[in-house]
Amino acid sequence: MSTSHELLWSIGELAERAGATVKTVRFYSDQGLLPEAARSSGGHRRYGSQALERLHLIRSLRALDLPLPEIRRVLDDEEAAGRVLEDALDSRLRGLGSELKALRWREAALHLVRDCPPAERAGRLRLLGALNTPPSTAPLARFWRAWLPPRMPRPATTAFLEAAVPQPPDEPHPTQVLAFARLHAMTTAPCPDGRQPQPDVHRVAGADGAVLLYAGLAEAFELAAPHLRRARDPHPGEALDAYVAAYASAFRSRDTHDFRRSLAARLSAEARLDQYWELAAVVLTRPGSSPHPTPGSADDWLRAALRLDNAGAA
């Protein structure tokens, strides 16, 4: 052995210098994270000063809650240790973010049940019991996928879902938790007649026409959103023109006074999803803030603008 006995420590001496327990040192050594420098004549482990530095590093990484496989990657790749450590920390931060979000949802759910009238608790518990924490938007996405026309191109479907499915807030208020739970219940309940109602525009326009329609509606909703945020009354203008143009393209028609009158009549006969959009607005809006515009509220505003425009033309 080339290293003198004075520079080597027993497992107990190493543990004492590191402020750790013998059990901890033995565990890391058994895991191959803390190699021994030598063995005594009696077969006992001996560690050098490098083992002390390595043990300090391992304990520091464990204090950051990094799992052992990530710690092993940091220790084994000295040349890329900085990059590996950064990746490991980023991964742990993402994990902690998810854990914190779940805890905030559980906290808000507890307040929601505790603070409601006793007669409502059983119902709220049933609603909340169907949710994961944090909740998944997958059931809402499945609801809309069944509502959209078949064979609609993936990019158009993705764009529609991004607008239609509200993302759960990271720090929810109890009212937002209740609204999302009701959305979940609404979108997972079976349809009364056993099938998802399809808007008439889907049957008329087909998948290709629906792509044009939703692209145009997205533009119209974006133009209407500032008016909604400022609580302006519905009125004809650029947003309404984009709204009508979206339907005209889907129906392969022109934007005329007759078309606008027939469109208003057609839209008034369509099935509505008012409850969905009301709940979505609650999910997206922090209590005390102005209601967050949704495709539903924008559509309501534009329909009202269309009725005013038709009345003016008449």
d(CA 229, CA 219): 16
The answer to whether 47 touches 11, Cβ cutoff 8 Å, is yes
Portion of the chain with pLDDT greater than 70, in percent: 94
- Give all strands (DSSP E) within the chain, no chain letters: 38-39, 45-46
pLDDT tens per residue, range 234-245: 999 999 999 999
DSSP state, residue 21: -
Local confidence band at 151 (pLDDT 50, 70, 90 cut-offs)? confident
| 243, 306 contact by CB (below 8 A) | yes
Residue 3 or residue 291, greater confidence: 291
Q: Which band of pLDDT confidence, cut at 50, 70 and 90, is reported for residue 101?
A: very high
- Cα 11 to Cα 21, 44, 49, 217, 234, distances in angstroms: 9, 8, 12, 71, 78
SS3 per-residue string spanning 66-79 = CCHHHHHHHHHCCC
Kindly report, residue by residue over 154-189, the tens digit of the pLDDT. 998 999 999 999 999 999 999 999 999 999 999 998
Task: Quote the distance between the C-alpha of residue 247 and its chain's center.
Answer: 31
Give the three-class secondary structure for 159: helix
For all residues of the chain together, what is the average pLDDT? 89
Quote the DSSP letter at residue 314.
Answer: -
Per-residue confidence (pLDDT) for residue 193, from 0 to 100: 63
| pLDDT tens column, 222-280 | 999 999 999 999 999 999 999 999 999 988 999 999 999 999 999 988 877 899 999 99
pLDDT band (50, 70, 90) for residue 205: confident
Residue 192, pLDDT score: 66
* Of 170, 167, 166, residue with least CA distance to 105: 170
pLDDT for 2 equals 40
- Tokens 């064979």 locate to 151
3-state secondary structure 225-268: HHHHHCCCCCCCCHHHHHHHHHHHHHCCCCCCHHHHHHHHHHHH
Cα-based distances in Å from 56 to 29, 47, 194, 238? 13, 14, 63, 65
- Res. 194 pLDDT band, cuts 50 70 90: low
**Per-residue pLDDT, 198:** 67
Residue 106 has pLDDT above 80, yes or no: yes
Residue 307 is predicted with a pLDDT of 96
Q: Does 133 score more than 50 pLDDT? A: yes
DSSP string, 168-215: PPSS--HHHHHHHHHHHHHHHSPPTTSS----HHHHHHHHHHHHHHHH
38 alpha-carbon distance from chain centroid: 52
pLDDT of residue 233: 97
Can you tell me the distance from the alpha carbon of 218 to that of 208, in angstroms, rounded to the nearest whole number?
A: 16
Res. 1 pLDDT band, cuts 50 70 90: very low
Average pLDDT over residues 143-162: 88
Tokens of 13: 């001496």
